[in-house]
Amino acid sequence: MPLIKVDNENIFFSFNKSESDQNLLLIHGSGGDHTHWPEKLRNLAGVNVYAIDLPGHGQSGGHGRRSVDDYADVTEAFVSAMNLSNVTLAGHSLGGAIVQCLALRHPEWLVRIILVGTGARLRVAPAILDGLLSDFKTTVDLVCDDAFGPTAWESLIQAGRKGFLKTGPEVIHGDYMACDQFDIMERIGEIAFPTLVVCGTADKLTPVKYSKYLCSHISGAEIAVIEDGGHIMGLEKPDEFTGMISRFLKGHKDFG
């Protein structure tokens, strides 16, 4: 699996090449890594799929950041280092905030965006923010209790818990600080890219209301709702999730 040096940090990414000039770049959420995107999506045919580990996460080196803007800088530097154009950006949760931030910068390489389990404001419950530094393990349990929907299977939840514990308190705290300070409620209408908003009806961390707000303020945005999907909806419902994204990439508008 490839690594690229971006501003002196080794950034890991998974890559699936297709005979296409279309690029899909996947940005994971707080405390996650590229495996928070379903394998099926990472191997989607008909598009070149890149899924990065943000610095300080997964197999990347470097250090985590504490603001969405800083993570957006890293993402732009990755796109530039890889010389990518014709990019669809998909972001989950914190990743979705990074994508919104980039969309507001109107880079010429960006063509459309996919916002998954995210919002234009991402306030974090104080019990999570404070608890990450004072009682990391209990707080990870708290987050995992809310992160999955009713159909998530036990081994998926356990893997999620293990991944968070491995990322460590400082990096996850920085990620949640970035979320907590993120608020573009007043600017969201400036986003002018074709947009798909994906949400799960059982998402407790970023409720459907947040996605409806995005959809009603971004001109022409489509919403795709995953019944019983929790915050980690991509892994919980990989077929449905990948199907929706695949249809959007092909220009369909039928998300029912």
Gap between the Cα atoms of 47 and 81, Å rounded = 19
What's the closest the beta carbon of residue 30 comes to ligand COA, in angstroms? 6
User: Collapsing DSSP states into helix, strand and coil, what is residue 99?
Assistant: helix
Write the interaction track for ligand COA spanning residues 126-155; mark x where CB under 6 A is met and - where it is not.
Answer: --x---------------------------
Site for ligand COA in 201-240 (CB under 6 A): 205-206, 209-210, 213
| Interface with ligand COA, residue 242, by CB under 6 A | no
The answer for residues whose C-beta is within 8 angstroms of residue 103's C-beta and 6 or more apart is 89, 110, 113, 191, 192, 193
Nearest to ligand COA of 146, 227 (CB atom): 146
Structure tokens at 95: 């990743």
The residue of the chain with the least Cβ separation from ligand COA equals 119
β pairing state of 195-200 and 9-16:
unpaired
Gap between the Cα atoms of 219 and 116, Å rounded = 17
Q: What is the dihedral of CA 178, 1, 90, 27, to 10 degrees?
A: 0
Write the interaction track for ligand COA spanning residues 88-107; mark x where CB under 6 A is met and - where it is not.
Answer: -----x--------------
Nearest to ligand COA of 47, 98 (CB atom): 98
Residue ranges binding ligand COA (CB under 6 A): 93, 119-125, 128, 179, 205-206, 209-210, 213
